[in-house]
Structures are given as C-alpha cells and as structure tokens.
Amino acid sequence: MVESVERIALVGGTHGTELTGVFLIKKFQQSPHLIKRDGIKTITLLANPQAVAMGRRYVDTDLNRAFNPQDLDNPELINYEQSRAKVIAQKIQQEKIDVIIDLHSTTANMGVTIILHNSHPYLLRLAAYLTETNPLVKILQYPLNQDTPYLRSLVELGMTIEVGAIANGLLDARLFQQTEDVIHAILDYFAADKQGRLLSSPKSFTFYRVIEKVDYPRNQNGGIEGMIHPQLQFQDYQPLDSGHPIFVTFDGKEIFYEGESTVYPVFINEAAYYEKGIAMYLTQKDEYNWEI
C-alpha cells in the first residue's frame, strides 16, 4: 500500500493517433517548470514514439494491452510494442513511480473522464476532489483483469485521463486545455497532500462502474451489420432504458436495448474498438460515500 505520493509519471502517446497526450507531453518536456511541484518528482514519457511518427495507433500490437506481468517477463515477445512495454515497465520501476497518469483520447463523447482501476483511498479522495472542483470531470471505475493489461496497471495508483469526443490524428484546442487543466489539478492535489495541506474533498461523489461490453450486430462472417443509432451517438453517460434504440442496421432496421435496469453507456462508437468487438461499454451509476 502506498503511504505517500512522491513520484509521478505523466505518459502520452501510448496510442500514436491520440495527439492530445502526445503534444501535452512535448509541451511539458519543453517547459518542465509547468509540472514542477514542491515535494513531488514528475517524469514525462512518450510511450510509443514509433506509432506517433507513423500516425498509427500502434506499429505491431496495441501497446496498452502489453503489460501482462508474464508477458513482460517473456523474452520471446519482441515485437515493437512488446519491447516498448518492457522498457516502460523497467523505467517505472527504476524511477520508483507511485502514480501513473496515462493521457488518452476517444472518439466517444466522454468529456474529461478519469478512469480508475481500483478503490485505493488515495484515488477515491482525488476523484472526489476533481469532481467537486471541475464540473467536466467524470469518474469511471474499470477494474482490470487478464484481458486488460493496461499501462496504468504497472502501479497501484494508476489512472487514465480519457478525453473526447475527438477524432484520431488531430488536436482540439478546447480538449487540449481541459486535459492540461485536470493534469495541473492532480499535481496540485498530490503536492498539497505531500505538504500536509490536504485539500478538502466532498464526502460523496458520483462514479460510473463498467459492467458489460456490447458488440455491434454482426453477420455470419463477423462483418458488422449496423451502426450506433443516431439517438445514442455522442450520448455517453446519459441514461439508457429498455426499449430505447441502440443500433440501426445498414438497411434501416432499429435494434433496441433490452436490459432490465437503467445503464449509462460510455465509449460509444470508439473507432479503435471496432476491431475489438466493442460498440460501447455499459456502466452503472453509483455514489461513493464515506467519512474522511
């Protein structure tokens, strides 16, 4: 269990087409004073420089699925991303990093989402603080398992900042600024904590917990047969009830949500998830309540 946050890794370009993180990392590398905080050491890392240079999500395989501990120890896994994962894992360990902040973007309309993979009290207090001080911030709980060996899983206090909607391969000035703002808020929070000035967090906050993934309608050959319904497009974090349309097939047939309870879809129509068989994730809305 981490006792105190002293060393933070800011990571961008884990996916080469998600330029918000790439250019924020470049900015911080050119102007390191921006991320300097008393008592905290913050390092910056461009995770997949070759994919960035090629303008592609990845070169050989998805870097953000390459951090299984047994894969990192397997000397036979040597493609570009497998090799990069080992270099990154070693760096995170050598630098004794407590917190990873991995900067991503999405074609889904997810605003400024902080993705957490556990309920560590440090992360929950930070999440509560961010939701209170920044109305754009949404908190997504996404427990990791064997299928999700993400970069952020290298440390207990790993998180992703996922901003959107933004197309791959370009910059959106508003989302760039919003991402930078939330990075500064996180650094300020940990710096204040380190200095014993605990910033006040509310006693409860709303979060969304991933419960299920939903694939596109597909034909016998695995090809997709439909699209996100126009009424659902860009409606991330909005309530979805039984009987509401979620897909429309290419010949115009509507497909409806049939679950029993209200859910809150996220990652709706994320471009990179077509190949992964994910049209959206369904989440439950929930509250954390505690006495600090």
Window 86-115: residues binding its own copies (CB under 8 A): 107
Q: Which of 46, 77, 211, 227 binds its own copies (CB under 8 A)?
A: 227
185 part of the interface to its own copies, by CB under 8 A: no
**Stretch of 24-32, 66-74, 120-128, 181-189 contacting its own copies, by CB under 8 A:** 24-32
Residues 6 or more apart from 162 whose CB is under 8 A from it?
104, 105, 106, 110, 113, 114, 115, 140
**117 or 229: whose CB is closer to its own copies?**
229
Of the candidates 260, 267, 268, which has an alpha carbon nearest to the alpha carbon of residue 232? 268
- Closest distance to its own copies from the beta carbon of 181 (Å): 12
Q: Which amino acid is at 207?
A: F
287 part of the interface to its own copies, by CB under 8 A: no
Of the candidates 141, 159, 139, 265, which has an alpha carbon nearest to the alpha carbon of residue 205? 139
Q: Which of 49, 121, 204, 250 binds its own copies (CB under 8 A)?
A: 250
Q: Which of 49, 55, 121, 239 binds its own copies (CB under 8 A)?
A: 55
The token pair that represents 249 in the structure block? 């097939």
Which is it for the CA torsion 276, 264, 22, 75, positive or negative?
negative
Pairing mode, strands 99-105 and 254-256:
unpaired
Q: What is the CA radius of gyration of the chain?
A: 19
**36 or 203: whose CB is closer to its own copies?**
36
Binding site for its own copies (CB under 8 A): 23, 26-27, 31, 55-56, 107, 165-174, 176, 227-230, 233, 248, 250-251, 269-272, 274-275
